[in-house]
Structure 1
Amino acid sequence: METDLGYADLNIPVARTSDAGLRSLIKRALELGYQTVALNTVVDQENLMTKKKKQKAGELNKLSEFPEPTIVELNPEDYPHLHSRGLKPKILTRLTIMISDNDFLIHYNKSEIVKNYDLLAIIPKTAQCLISLLKSSFRFDILSYTPDLIYSGVKWQRKLYNECIEKFIHFELMYVPAIVDREDRRKTIGLSHSYQSIGKSKKIFFSSSATKPIELRSPSDVSNLAFIFGMNENQGKDAVKKHCLDIYKAALGRKLGVYRVRVEKIQGEPVEESGSDSDGMETD
């Protein structure tokens, strides 16, 4: 298990970026000082219609299964700064599902592909959708919102916020929409201050959602956004490092399931066998 992911950007979209563009985004992120990035695949529940709904609506089923995770292989020449320090970048895969109700669980529970993703994020379109999901046995790692859903989504209350925290869910704030568009900036700042007033900005992390290398910012610049988002300096630093590691650990626990003891071999030292203790034992 990784104990240090370094600075992380857990939202590099793959659907809107070509292969060459995606590689350029990853290389730029590593140049800026990130050690971990997550390649984010977004799926809308509306594209996972059941056969019954398809026949009833007369629409084409765009996705019969969740897409495979995007894998990108890098050479040491692609990350010279990390390579000079004897480090390697960690490229995670993330699945984000935009949901309107719990019907998506039919596809999710039957899918083997979703098990190949490292992180799982949910974008609920309504408050009732999120409440119903929290009452189920379904577990996920990240709760996110696109700017157009911030005001039409969940009206936050302290009880609901704390319930998410108890289930090891982290809240995502994307900074690129706040840079690119004035209206999106207003919505993102409003959401962040809502998190601060309701939950003291607990379990918040920052990500980019960048589609162009020029949109990426260094970890220090991103952590300084905490002052705009109603957070303090330490919370800003945790939002680009510590909480990202917490998300990764929570995801490992979610995939592993319920357990009491985990045994992991960390060294290859031979185990000495001692049979002399049983030689002198007397039996009745």
Structure 2
Amino acid sequence: MPQTDKFEFADLNIMHNSNAATTLALVKRAIRLGYDTVAINIDVGDLNDVTADEDDPSEPPRKKKKKGGSKVKSIPEPFKVDVSKLDLSELEAAGKQFRQYSRLTVALSETGAVHTLMHDATAKKYDIIAARPANEQLLTTLANKGEIVDLISFDGTEKCFWLNRGKIVQLAVEKGMGMEISYAPALSDSSARRQVFANARQLLAATRGGRGVVLTSKADAILDLRAPYDAANLVTLFGGTPDLGRKLVSANAKRVLLRADAKKTIRGAIRVQSLTGNTQTTVSLLDKLVSVPEFRAEIEIVRASTAACDDVS
């Protein structure tokens, strides 16, 4: 069967902890389990502990840590596995194309960190930006500045107080951001599992039935990974259905990727064209706009969002 652009299942949180061999093994395992799309995630923790690589000389440099404080680190370069080391024969036989994305995850504990994230040159090299806001105020800031991040995440093993702020969560989803649930932390012990499930139930309620929610593994070991349908069935433990679960590892994940692709494309190229004139009709001009990749990607996002709304209603 010839290879197509068919997209089926994605895991947008394969952890990379500086060990390329381990990450490669995780990606190989994900492919064998049935995923055709993965995101390699580098989590740098609290952005206040990271030095910024400002891409704008006019921006003031971040203050260095005081002597005797914790060691300051910088955002590392994105990581992707060597595709030549992967066996893609099963995907290709099924008419699928393997896709991998780079992902950066940061914890935000103060509003100044949002500014840092916006202007960090290395951060802009990543395909997907995810953030863990520490409080409702930071979530509101991210929701109002919808272009900064693609995914909103949280530590599932701890109580997350902004999950009961439905209006803010829904605003973030309306701006195109995905809301992440990761299942690997629930595999560690019963206490963590109870908290992950409780948080997941709250998130499904806050998003009115899982609109914009993405289910990921957050796997840093082979045993953390679950096949797409097994992962989807976990959603029944959150109060959802298997059909919703499949959407969380497929359609909703695709929505995040389309948004990330469009954002990255538009950042590099802007095309302006008048819709008025005597030589061409408005319809033909709109057809030309649709031929521009960034506009076509935006249209796909709108369609995906509309479909998600229809399914929820």
Report the TM-score when normalising by structure 2.
0.75
Aligned with 1:200: secondary structure?
A: coil
Aligned counterpart for 1:204 among listed residues 209, 213, 221: 213
Spell out the pairing of 1:115-264 with structure 2 (5 A cutoff): 115-136=124-145, 138-148=147-157, 150-198=158-206, 199-255=208-264, 256=266, 261=289, 263-264=291-292
Number of the residue aligned with 2:279? none
Between the two structures, name the one with larger relative contact order (CA 8 Å, sep ≥ 6): 1
Aligned with 2:104: secondary structure?
A: strand
Contact 2:146 2:175 in 1 (8 A): no
Spell out the pairing of 1:74-85 with structure 2 (5 A cutoff): 74-75=83-84, 78-85=87-94
Change (3 A) 1:231 1:53: same
What is the deviation of 1:262?
5.1
Aligned counterpart for 2:102 among listed residues 71, 81, 93: 93
**Percentage identity across paired residues of the two chains:** 26
Change (3 A) 1:152 1:172: closer
Structure 1 unaligned spans of 5+: 266-284
CA RMSD of aligned residues (A): 2.6
Paired with 2:94 and 2:182, the residues of 1 have a C-alpha distance of: 29
Contact 1:14 1:22 in 2 (8 A): yes
Contact 1:7 1:36 in 2 (8 A): yes
Paired with 2:199 and 2:221, the residues of 1 have a C-alpha distance of: 24
Aligned counterpart for 2:72 among listed residues 62, 76, 85: 62
| Counterpart amino acid of residue 177 in structure 1 | P
Change (3 A) 1:78 1:152: same
Matched, 1:73 2:53: no
| Counterpart amino acid of residue 196 in structure 1 | L
Report the TM-score when normalising by structure 1.
0.82
Residue-pair matches, total: 261
| Counterpart amino acid of residue 125 in structure 2 | N
- Residue-by-residue CA offset, 1:12-68 (whole Å, 9 max, x unaligned): 1112x62111111000000000001100011221322576643656535522x4211
| Counterpart amino acid of residue 68 in structure 1 | E
Number of the residue aligned with 2:280? none
Change (3 A) 1:206 1:251: same
Contact 2:131 2:151 in 1 (8 A): yes
Paired with 2:194 and 2:65, the residues of 1 have a C-alpha distance of: 41
Number of the residue aligned with 2:286? none
Contact 1:14 1:40 in 2 (8 A): yes
Structure 2 unaligned spans of 5+: 53-60, 273-288, 294-313
Tell me which structure has the larger Cα radius of gyration.
1
Change (3 A) 1:212 1:102: same
Aligned with 1:202: secondary structure?
A: coil
| Counterpart amino acid of residue 128 in structure 2 | L
What is the deviation of 1:228?
0.6
